[in-house]
Amino acid sequence: MSELYLITPPRIDAHFLARLETALDAGPVSALQIRLKDHDEADIRRLAPDLIRAAQTRGVAAILNDSPELADQLGCDGVHIGQSDGRVKDARAIMGKERSVGVTCHASRHLAMVAGEAGADYVAFGAFYPTATKATDHVATPDILTWWVELFELPCVAIGGITADNAAPLIAAGADFLAVSAGIWAHPDGPAAAVRAFAALTGEA
Protein backbone atom coordinates (compact mmCIF):
# COMPACT_ATOMS: atom_id res chain seq x y z
CA MET A 1 0.00 0.00 0.00
CA SER A 2 1.27 3.46 -0.88
CA GLU A 3 2.52 5.80 1.84
CA LEU A 4 2.61 9.59 1.84
CA TYR A 5 5.96 11.32 1.28
CA LEU A 6 5.59 15.07 1.81
CA ILE A 7 7.72 17.61 -0.02
CA THR A 8 7.99 21.20 1.15
CA PRO A 9 7.16 24.06 -1.19
CA PRO A 10 10.25 25.52 -2.89
CA ARG A 11 9.84 28.70 -0.83
CA ILE A 12 8.46 28.98 2.68
CA ASP A 13 7.76 31.76 5.14
CA ALA A 14 7.56 32.09 8.90
CA HIS A 15 4.07 30.55 8.95
CA PHE A 16 5.06 27.33 7.21
CA LEU A 17 6.16 25.46 10.33
CA ALA A 18 2.66 25.67 11.79
CA ARG A 19 1.16 24.46 8.49
CA LEU A 20 3.63 21.58 8.41
CA GLU A 21 2.77 20.53 11.95
CA THR A 22 -0.93 20.64 11.11
CA ALA A 23 -0.32 18.41 8.09
CA LEU A 24 1.85 15.94 10.01
CA ASP A 25 -0.75 15.66 12.75
CA ALA A 26 -3.64 15.07 10.33
CA GLY A 27 -2.73 11.55 9.23
CA PRO A 28 0.06 9.09 8.46
CA VAL A 29 3.14 10.57 6.77
CA SER A 30 6.25 8.46 6.19
CA ALA A 31 8.76 11.09 5.12
CA LEU A 32 9.28 14.81 4.68
CA GLN A 33 11.61 16.01 1.96
CA ILE A 34 12.96 19.47 2.68
CA ARG A 35 13.25 20.90 -0.81
CA LEU A 36 13.79 24.64 -0.51
CA LYS A 37 14.91 25.36 -4.06
CA ASP A 38 14.08 29.07 -3.81
CA HIS A 39 16.27 29.58 -0.74
CA ASP A 40 20.04 29.81 -0.51
CA GLU A 41 22.12 27.61 1.77
CA ALA A 42 22.16 30.17 4.57
CA ASP A 43 18.36 30.24 4.53
CA ILE A 44 18.20 26.45 4.53
CA ARG A 45 20.54 26.23 7.52
CA ARG A 46 18.25 28.66 9.34
CA LEU A 47 14.90 27.21 8.30
CA ALA A 48 15.50 23.48 8.14
CA PRO A 49 16.21 22.61 11.80
CA ASP A 50 12.64 23.39 12.93
CA LEU A 51 11.22 21.37 10.02
CA ILE A 52 13.52 18.45 10.79
CA ARG A 53 12.52 18.56 14.45
CA ALA A 54 8.81 18.68 13.60
CA ALA A 55 9.17 15.58 11.44
CA GLN A 56 11.46 13.55 13.66
CA THR A 57 9.49 14.12 16.86
CA ARG A 58 6.51 12.58 15.04
CA GLY A 59 8.45 9.60 13.74
CA VAL A 60 8.60 11.01 10.23
CA ALA A 61 11.88 10.68 8.33
CA ALA A 62 13.44 14.05 7.50
CA ILE A 63 15.14 14.00 4.10
CA LEU A 64 17.07 16.89 2.58
CA ASN A 65 17.14 17.49 -1.14
CA ASP A 66 20.36 17.73 -3.18
CA SER A 67 23.18 17.98 -0.62
CA PRO A 68 24.45 14.94 1.35
CA GLU A 69 26.95 17.14 3.18
CA LEU A 70 24.27 19.53 4.41
CA ALA A 71 21.87 16.66 5.18
CA ASP A 72 24.55 15.14 7.38
CA GLN A 73 25.38 18.40 9.12
CA LEU A 74 21.72 19.12 9.87
CA GLY A 75 21.07 15.66 11.27
CA CYS A 76 18.64 14.50 8.59
CA ASP A 77 17.52 10.89 8.24
CA GLY A 78 18.38 10.84 4.56
CA VAL A 79 19.19 12.72 1.39
CA HIS A 80 17.50 12.79 -2.00
CA ILE A 81 19.78 13.37 -4.97
CA GLY A 82 19.05 14.15 -8.59
CA GLN A 83 21.03 12.92 -11.56
CA SER A 84 23.25 16.03 -11.40
CA ASP A 85 23.82 15.98 -7.64
CA GLY A 86 26.64 13.44 -7.51
CA ARG A 87 26.96 9.69 -7.17
CA VAL A 88 25.08 7.36 -4.84
CA LYS A 89 28.42 5.97 -3.68
CA ASP A 90 29.59 9.40 -2.55
CA ALA A 91 26.28 10.20 -0.84
CA ARG A 92 26.42 6.86 0.95
CA ALA A 93 29.94 7.57 2.20
CA ILE A 94 28.63 10.74 3.83
CA MET A 95 25.27 9.46 5.08
CA GLY A 96 26.43 6.04 6.24
CA LYS A 97 24.44 2.82 6.16
CA GLU A 98 21.82 3.84 8.69
CA ARG A 99 20.45 6.82 6.75
CA SER A 100 18.70 6.74 3.39
CA VAL A 101 19.80 7.82 -0.06
CA GLY A 102 17.06 8.30 -2.65
CA VAL A 103 17.61 9.00 -6.32
CA THR A 104 15.58 10.78 -8.99
CA CYS A 105 15.31 8.48 -12.02
CA HIS A 106 12.80 10.45 -14.12
CA ALA A 107 11.07 8.03 -16.50
CA SER A 108 14.15 5.86 -17.04
CA ARG A 109 14.27 2.17 -16.26
CA HIS A 110 17.99 2.25 -16.91
CA LEU A 111 18.67 5.04 -14.42
CA ALA A 112 16.60 3.24 -11.81
CA MET A 113 18.52 0.00 -12.25
CA VAL A 114 21.83 1.87 -12.07
CA ALA A 115 20.71 3.61 -8.87
CA GLY A 116 19.59 0.32 -7.35
CA GLU A 117 22.85 -1.38 -8.22
CA ALA A 118 24.77 1.55 -6.71
CA GLY A 119 23.02 1.04 -3.39
CA ALA A 120 20.18 3.57 -3.35
CA ASP A 121 17.49 3.01 -0.73
CA TYR A 122 14.69 4.06 -3.08
CA VAL A 123 14.19 5.26 -6.65
CA ALA A 124 11.83 8.06 -7.66
CA PHE A 125 9.95 8.13 -10.95
CA GLY A 126 8.15 11.09 -12.48
CA ALA A 127 6.69 13.43 -13.34
CA PHE A 128 3.41 11.58 -13.69
CA TYR A 129 1.28 14.71 -14.04
CA PRO A 130 1.95 18.35 -14.94
CA THR A 131 3.40 20.26 -12.01
CA ALA A 132 4.16 23.89 -11.30
CA THR A 133 6.61 22.98 -8.52
CA LYS A 134 9.46 22.31 -10.94
CA ALA A 135 10.14 22.13 -14.66
CA THR A 136 8.80 18.90 -16.16
CA ASP A 137 11.32 17.58 -18.64
CA HIS A 138 10.44 13.92 -18.15
CA VAL A 139 6.99 12.33 -18.24
CA ALA A 140 6.44 8.94 -16.62
CA THR A 141 3.47 6.59 -16.93
CA PRO A 142 2.15 4.19 -14.28
CA ASP A 143 3.47 1.12 -16.10
CA ILE A 144 7.01 1.98 -15.01
CA LEU A 145 5.91 1.54 -11.39
CA THR A 146 4.33 -1.82 -12.13
CA TRP A 147 7.44 -2.95 -13.99
CA TRP A 148 9.65 -1.91 -11.08
CA VAL A 149 7.68 -3.51 -8.26
CA GLU A 150 7.31 -6.78 -10.16
CA LEU A 151 11.08 -7.11 -10.63
CA PHE A 152 12.72 -5.36 -7.68
CA GLU A 153 12.29 -5.17 -3.91
CA LEU A 154 13.71 -1.66 -3.62
CA PRO A 155 10.93 0.84 -2.87
CA CYS A 156 9.78 3.24 -5.58
CA VAL A 157 8.43 6.75 -5.21
CA ALA A 158 5.98 8.40 -7.60
CA ILE A 159 6.37 12.15 -7.96
CA GLY A 160 5.05 15.01 -10.03
CA GLY A 161 1.69 16.78 -9.87
CA ILE A 162 0.12 14.17 -7.61
CA THR A 163 -3.12 15.06 -5.83
CA ALA A 164 -5.72 13.07 -3.95
CA ASP A 165 -7.85 13.28 -7.10
CA ASN A 166 -5.32 11.71 -9.48
CA ALA A 167 -3.30 9.39 -7.24
CA ALA A 168 -5.44 6.25 -7.61
CA PRO A 169 -3.76 4.94 -10.80
CA LEU A 170 -0.32 5.29 -9.17
CA ILE A 171 -1.48 3.41 -6.08
CA ALA A 172 -2.95 0.69 -8.30
CA ALA A 173 0.32 0.51 -10.25
CA GLY A 174 2.21 -0.27 -7.06
CA ALA A 175 3.91 2.95 -5.94
CA ASP A 176 5.38 2.41 -2.49
CA PHE A 177 5.35 6.14 -1.79
CA LEU A 178 3.47 9.12 -3.20
CA ALA A 179 5.63 12.25 -3.14
CA VAL A 180 3.34 15.25 -2.90
CA SER A 181 3.98 18.97 -2.64
CA ALA A 182 1.35 21.31 -4.10
CA GLY A 183 -1.25 18.56 -3.73
CA ILE A 184 -0.94 19.14 0.01
CA TRP A 185 0.02 22.78 0.41
CA ALA A 186 -2.30 24.19 -2.28
CA HIS A 187 -5.31 22.05 -1.37
CA PRO A 188 -8.39 24.29 -1.27
CA ASP A 189 -9.40 22.98 2.16
CA GLY A 190 -5.90 23.19 3.60
CA PRO A 191 -3.03 20.74 4.16
CA ALA A 192 -4.72 18.75 6.92
CA ALA A 193 -7.70 17.97 4.69
CA ALA A 194 -5.31 16.92 1.93
CA VAL A 195 -3.44 14.54 4.22
CA ARG A 196 -6.73 13.03 5.36
CA ALA A 197 -7.79 12.59 1.73
CA PHE A 198 -4.59 10.70 0.95
CA ALA A 199 -5.06 8.56 4.06
CA ALA A 200 -8.52 7.60 2.86
CA LEU A 201 -7.11 6.70 -0.57
CA THR A 202 -4.37 4.50 0.82
CA GLY A 203 -6.54 2.79 3.40
CA GLU A 204 -4.77 4.39 6.34
CA ALA A 205 -7.57 6.69 7.44
8 in a labelled binding site: no
Q: How many residues does the chain have?
A: 205
What CA–CA distance (Å, rounded) separates 154 from 10?
27
- Residue 133 annotated as part of some ligand binding site: yes
Establish whether 104 is an annotated binding residue. Answer: yes
Residue 131 marked as a ligand binder:
yes
66 appears as a binding residue in the annotation: yes
Q: Distance between CA atoms of 143 and 57, rounded to whole angstroms?
A: 36
Amino acid letter, 42: A
Q: Phi and psi of 81, rounded to 5°?
A: -115, 145
First to last CA, the chain: 13
- List of E strands, the chain: 3-7, 31-34, 61-65, 78-81, 100-104, 122-126, 156-159, 177-180
The C-alpha atoms of residue 174 and residue 178 are separated, in whole angstroms, by: 10
Tell whether 86 is in a known binding site: no
63 is in an annotated binding site: no
CA distances to 101, 109, 130, 183 from 73, rounded to whole Å, are 15, 32, 34, 30
Residue 34 known to bind ligand: yes
| SS3 assignment, position 152 | coil
Q: 122: part of which helix (H) or strand (E)?
A: strand 122-126
Binding site for Mg(2+): residue ranges?
66, 85
Binding-site residues: 33-37, 65-66, 85, 104, 131-134, 161
